[in-house]
């Protein structure tokens, strides 16, 4: 019985020292660096490239990552409105898209770093089945980034460009 109580106490102390959000900041910083490396790998004159007419261009994929990250950050993590429309990458320079992407990651990382364990269990993404708490919303956001970055990597390959090396750390 005593050993069980000690185990419960240790788990409680450990849980108080760990935060899903803060423990994942390095992962989000790595995602930022990987995404920016992909964005930088495509030459500026290929930012308008799309493999078919019915999909986003490379530049739009990058702008979409940036805008959707901020939209989800505001709606899911801050429970606030996001009324900004996705920028049209065709009217932006490569450097402008990269700056937008970098700034968006920094804002999201800052918000994630401010979340407490208590915040993480509160409602986040409210539409869909099932609704998600903030911790689950962070995972949803990360999955969305990965989806669009993977598409961008394919665009690089379709243009004969070797994508940056992938690594989790």
Q: What is the pTM of this model?
A: 0.86
**Domain residues for 60?**
20-158
- Residue 133, strand partner residues: 123
- How many domains, the chain? 1
Query: Is 3 part of a structural domain of the chain?
Result: no
- The enclosing domain of 68 has a CATH number of 1.20.120.450
Average pLDDT over residues 4-18: 46
Query: Is 7 part of a structural domain of the chain?
Result: no
For the segment 81-107, what is each residue's pLDDT rounded down to a tens digit? Answer: 999 999 999 999 999 999 999 999 999
What token pair was written down for 56? Answer: 């986003």
- Backbone conformation region of residue 125, classed left if phi is above 0, alpha if psi is from -120 to 50, else beta: beta
């Amino acid at each position: 019985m005593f050993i069980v109580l000690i185990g419960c106490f240790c788990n409680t102390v450990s849980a108080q020292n760990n935060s899903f959000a803060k423990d994942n900041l390095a992962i989000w910083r790595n995602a930022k660096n990987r995404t920016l490396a992909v964005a930088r790998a495509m030459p500026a004159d290929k930012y308008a490239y799309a493999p078919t007419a019915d999909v986003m261009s490379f530049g739009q994929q990058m702008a979409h990552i940036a805008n959707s990250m901020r939209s989800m950050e505001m709606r899911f993590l801050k429970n606030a409105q996001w009324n900004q429309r996705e920028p049209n990458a065709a009217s932006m320079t490569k450097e402008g898209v990269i700056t937008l992407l970098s700034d968006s990651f920094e804002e999201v990382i800052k918000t994630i770093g401010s979340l407490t364990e208590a915040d993480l269990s509160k409602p986040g993404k409210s539409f869909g089945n099932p609704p998600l708490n903030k911790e689950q919303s962070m995972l949803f956001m990360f999955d969305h980034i990965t989806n669009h970055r993977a598409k961008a990597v394919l665009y690089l390959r379709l243009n004969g460009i070797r994508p940056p090396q992938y690594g989790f750390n």
